[in-house]
Amino acid sequence: MLIRPERNLPQSLDDLLGPGLARRLDRLDILSRKVFSGHLPGERRSKRRGESVEFDDYRDYTPGDDLRRLDWNAFARFDRFFIKLFRAEEDLGLHILLDCSASMLAGGGEEPSKLLFAHRLAMALAYVGLVNQNRVSLATFGHAEADPLHRLAPLRGRPQTVRVADFLLASIHAAETAPSPPEVDTKGRVAFERAMRAFALSRVGSGVVILLTDALLPAGLESGLSSLVAGGGVDASLVQVLAPSEIAPERATQAGLVGDLRLTDAETGRGVEVTISPAVIKQYKRRLDTHIERVQRAAAARDIGHLLVS
C-alpha cells in the first residue's frame, strides 16, 4: 500500500459533514433487513407521543432521550436512570465500528486516506441515525493502546451531532499522529478479535451494526466476524474501505512507485525489497481480488452484508 501524509486534517463538524450534504441526508433513514422484537421488516418506531400506552420494557437512559419517559420509581430503587418503552415502539440502535489501524492511513495526497474517508462516512451514517431519533453509538479499534475499543456512549437526537463530530475528530488526529509500529509488532490479528469480542459483550439491545475497515488482516478475520455477531439480535454490514491506489495501483506507478523499491508494511513495520513492474502489478491485482472474495465469503457465511467502497 502507498502511504502519504495527510496534509489537511479536518478541524470541525463542517469539515466532516458540510451543510449541503447534511440537507441531503435529512431525507434518509436507517432501516434493518431483519425482524427485531416481533416487529415486521422495516417497521419503525413511531415518532409521535402517546400512540400507545401498553408498557413493554425498560432500557438505560441515553443523552437526548425525552425526559418525560424517565421512570422515577426505578431511579429511586436502583439509583440509575431508565426509560420506559411501549409496545408500539421499536428502539433500534445504530452501532458504528471504525478501524483505526495503521493500514487505514493508506492514501493521502490528492486522495483522502482510508482513515479520513471512513470517518467522514461514519459521520454521515451517525447523522442519519441521530436526526431520526435512533440510538447511535460509535467505537474505534486498532489503536496502539491496550484497550481494544474507544467508545462513545449511545446518543440520540440532532443536537448530539457535535459530540459525535468531536469524537471522530479526536480519533482522526490520534491515528494520524500515532508512532509507527516496531518491526516486531504482529498484534493486528489479536487486536481485531479482541475488539470484536469487546463490542459484542458491551452492546446493549438489537440494531444495525456497521463495521468500517479495510480488512487487511494476516489472519483472524473469520473469528473476529463471528464474535461481532455473537448472541444475535444485530443486522451487521462490513463496509470494506480501500484506497483508489490500492484498487488501481497504476495510479501509484504514475506517481513514481516503479522500479527497485523497499516497501514497508504499515501494520507490522517490516520491510521488503521489490521490483515494481507490470507483471508484479498484475499479480498484485489477482491477490487483491482473492482477498476481497475471501472477505465477502466470510461475511456471507455469518449473514453479514458486504460493500466495497473506495
Instruction: Give residue-wise pLDDT tens across range 79-134.
Output: 888 887 765 455 678 999 999 998 999 876 677 899 999 999 999 999 999 998 88
Mean predicted lDDT score pLDDT of the chain: 82
List the chain domain ranges: 13-29+92-309, 55-86
Between residues 8 and 284, the one the model is more confident about: 284
Between residues 242 and 18, the one the model is more confident about: 242
The phi, psi pair for 9, rounded to 5°, reads -80, 145
pLDDT of residue 6: 47
pLDDT of residue 42: 40
What's the average model confidence in pLDDT over 43-67?
A: 61
Class of the CATH domain delimited by 13-29+92-309: alpha beta
pLDDT of residue 300: 97
pLDDT of residue 68: 78
**What is d(CA 128, CA 130) in angstroms, rounded to the nearest whole number?**
6
Whether the per-residue pLDDT at 193 is higher than 60: the answer is yes
